[in-house]
Amino acid sequence: MPVKKVKMSTLRTYIDALLDYTTYSKYPEIITHYNSLRMVRKIIIKEQYSGGTQTKVSSFFTKVCPQSAPIQTSASGPAPASPQPASPDIDDPMPMLSGAEEDDLE
C-alpha cells in the first residue's frame, strides 16, 4: 500500500498540537508520552531543515554589472584619448578660501 507524502510543516503543526494536549492533559497515561513526542518533534525539525536546497557556486557568484565593451590594445587600432586637465571654469564644490575668509571663520 503506497504511503501518502505529508509536508514536514504539516507534521510539525500536528506534533505541536499533540504536545500542547499532553502538556495540559489531566490523564497521567497521556502525560507519560510527552518525552516521546518531544523526540519525534526534534527529528521532524532536523529533517525539515536538513532537506534544504543548496545553491550552486556558479549561480551564487554572478556578475552584477553588465560587461563593458572590450578595450582595443593593438597597434593598428586608434590610440585611446589621453585625459584632459579639468577646466578652471568648472565650479569647485570645495573652493579654496582666501586668507580674509579664513579669518572670518575663526
This prediction's pTM: 0.45
Give the CA-trace dihedral at 37, 46, 8, 32, to 10 degrees. 0
**String of DSSP letters for 10-68:** HHHHHHHHHHHHHHT---HHHHTTHHHHHHHHHHHHHHHHHT-----HHHHS--SSPPP
| Tens digit of pLDDT at every position of the chain (106 positions) | 777 888 888 999 999 999 999 999 999 999 999 999 999 999 999 988 887 666 666 666 666 666 666 666 555 556 656 666 666 556 655 555 555 555 555 5
Domain assignments of the chain as residue spans, ordered by start:
8-50
How far apart CA 22 and CA 25 sit, in angstroms, is 5
